[in-house]
A and B are shown apart, each in its own frame.
Chain A
Amino acid sequence: MIPCEKAAIICSKAQYSEASFLDKLRLRLHIMYCKTCHAYTKKNKRLTSLCQKAPLHSLSEQDKVEIKRRLTDIH
């Protein structure tokens, strides 16, 4: 069986649909026996749906660098 740390990382990968078939199988087997990771997976899925539900926007890194530069320039 894979260790919890690895299971948790696969679980996070799965939130972005980037876990391989084999990894997902390993994760499934793991959470059948591990209550902690079972709960973690549930919460992680919930976090994904929260992030999708919320209207999240962010400035690009370039924008931030630009604002920082302007802030530094002003007196």
Chain B
Amino acid sequence: MPIEKSMTVNGLRPDTWVDQYADYLFNYAYARVSEEEIAKDLVQETFFAGLKSAKNYKGTASERTWLIAILKRKVIDHYRKVNSSKGKAEVRMQYNPNSDSAGDWLEEQVADPYAELESTAMENEELGLAIQECIAKLPKKQSRVFTMKTIQGISTEDICKELEINPSNLWVMIHRARTALMGCLNENWFET
């Protein structure tokens, strides 16, 4: 069953998945496997699995939430595979990365100096996903220009060449995209 334009399966719209969710899922996966190629494969596998099980979609969760749930499983499967290829699952608990000694008790670490760092990382990931969610809501061309310029850091000249637009078009699109993002991102992020 090839995907055709505006095909709907059980309320899902697989033909829009890549444009709508690929970067969102990619950010989520990248944060967990830290390797671009693997993250990319996981995103692709997620779409395949989603297409295969589309008939089981009940519509209680949003399309994105449903795809994220599939991706989560894929990430777990990935780590299972990595671990089993090592012979057995390896769980190493290193509660003090700065110390080689294995026998210090947790009491020594009542105030965990890494807790704050970790919560900042989690907050930043949450921010990243919120930004991707807003980018996905932009008109296709705006989201593409914004992503190329802001995330991929491609030069104005190269973007104009690739998309066959002139610099003033580009800046108008960037400006519109930024204005839309300011409106879309939760006000909380703008409180300093």
Write the residues of chain A forming the contact surface with B, with a CB cutoff of 8 angstroms: 8-9, 11-13, 15-16, 18, 43-44, 46-47, 50-51, 53-61, 63-64, 67-68, 70-75
Number of chain B residues whose Cβ lies closer than 8 Å to a Cβ of chain A? 46
Q: A67-B18, A71-B47, A74-B51 are in contact. Are A58 and B185 (CB under 8 A)?
A: no
A74 contact set on B, CB distance < 8 A: 48, 51
Q: A64-B22, A72-B3 are in contact. Are A15 and B131 (CB under 8 A)?
A: no
Q: A12-B178, A44-B182, A67-B44 are in contact. Are A54 and B149 (CB under 8 A)?
A: no
B189 within 8 A of A: yes
B40 contact set on A, CB distance < 8 A: 59, 63
Q: Which 3 A-B pairs have the closest CB atoms?
A: A54-B128, A12-B175, A54-B127
Given A55-B125, A72-B3: 10 more A-B contacts, CB < 8 Å: A43-B190, A47-B181, A54-B125, A58-B151, A59-B40, A64-B19, A67-B22, A71-B14, A72-B2, A75-B2
